[in-house]
């Protein structure tokens, strides 16, 4: 693992790191904030998954998470959203290819050689973090934004014993039923919709998957609200299944990091309460 940068911030160390990934067969970059802590201590960890077009840098630079992480003793990990680099398949549009990994394992050409973000997030990166940072993987929570909210919900639901809590900002909740998901899943997974089910949060809930605690914030002025996000689908799926959900509709907020940074501390304190 290569250290790209490390800086002191909010009573902790904010680092950016790079490593050769076996899951994606590319170099991957991620950021980690570690608050000051007693020697030998192991801290709970919150994973943050970013949205379309983003890298680790968006939340690292604009998420305003460090103060709350210091106050509650949380390690904050922010990976990239897709494999990148020469030889990695891409598309001219923003919602497919590099920057749009959708946290799945691609099976279709030309994406299959590198687009294995599900395996990277679920398997490879946690092992690397556990070996390199003072984290307690028995105390993990997961959060994300937009496409990353889709990733947080679906990864959390597929690994229901791993995470103490899951939250999201403006998540894609029914990926197989909205244009962003239909386009990406057709390209990455092929036309057989049965292969899409593990990557649709509402379908996973309907199939019996559960989360111990779920918090979602959605801005009412989000331009993607009606076409791509449709939080009412998650609300209905959770109500039908008895899945606890706190869904907060935030009046006047959009899809940007102005929205995310406003409520980031709320989410981190909520996670900390569940992490113990």
d(CA 253, CA 245): 20
Q: Give kind and range of the element (H or E) at residue 52.
A: none
> Is 138 among the residues known to form the active site?
no
Residue 19 catalytic?
A: no
Residue 5: closest CA among 13, 30, 15: 15
Q: Select which of 56, 116, 145, 255 is catalytic.
A: 255
- 222 catalytic residue (yes or no): yes
> Nearest CA to 79 among 49, 119, 44, 35?
49
201 to 121, 186, 262: CA distances (angstroms): 17, 17, 25
- Residue 104 near residue 188, CB atoms below 8 Å: yes
Strand order, beta sheet including 135-145: 2-9, 12-20, 27-35, 75-79, 43-49, 135-145, 165-169, 214-219, 246-250
Pairing state between β 2-9 and 12-20:
antiparallel
Determine which one of 31, 82, 146, 165 is catalytic: 146
Which residue among 95, 167, 222, 267 is the active-site one?
Answer: 222
Q: Which residues are catalytic?
A: 146, 222, 255
């Amino acid at each position: 693992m290569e250290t790209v940068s490390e800086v002191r911030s909010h009573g902790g160390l904010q680092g950016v790191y790079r490593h050769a990934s076996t899951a994606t067969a590319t170099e991957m970059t991620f950021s980690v904030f570690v608050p000051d802590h007693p020697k030998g201590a192991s801290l709970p960890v919150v994973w943050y998954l970013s949205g379309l077009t983003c890298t680790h840098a968006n939340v690292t630079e604009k998420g305003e998470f460090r103060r709350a992480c210091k106050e509650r003793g949380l390690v904050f990990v922010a990976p990239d959203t897709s494999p990148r680099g020469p030889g990695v398949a891409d598309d001219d549009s923003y919602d497919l290819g590099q920057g749009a990994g959708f946290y799945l394992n691609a099976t279709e050409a030309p994406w299959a050689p590198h687009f294995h973000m599900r395996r990277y997030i679920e398997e490879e990166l946690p092992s690397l973090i556990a070996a390199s940072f003072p984290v307690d993987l028995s105390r993990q929570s997961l959060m994300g934004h937009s496409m990353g909210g889709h990733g947080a919900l679906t990864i959390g639901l597929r690994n229901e014993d791993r995470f103490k809590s899951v939250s999201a900002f403006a998540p894609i909740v029914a990926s197989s039923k909205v244009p962003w998901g239909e386009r990406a899943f057709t390209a990455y997974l092929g036309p057989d919709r049965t292969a899409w089910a593990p990557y649709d949060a509402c379908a996973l809930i309907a199939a019996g998957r559960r989360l111990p605690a779920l918090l979602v914030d959605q801005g009412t002025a989000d331009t993607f609200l009606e076409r791509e996000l449709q939080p009412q689908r998650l609300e209905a799926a959770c109500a039908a299944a008895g899945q606890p959900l706190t869904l907060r509709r935030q009046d006047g907020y959009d899809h940007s990091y102005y929205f995310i940074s406003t409520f980031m501390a709320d989410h981190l304190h909520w996670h900390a309460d569940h992490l113990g």
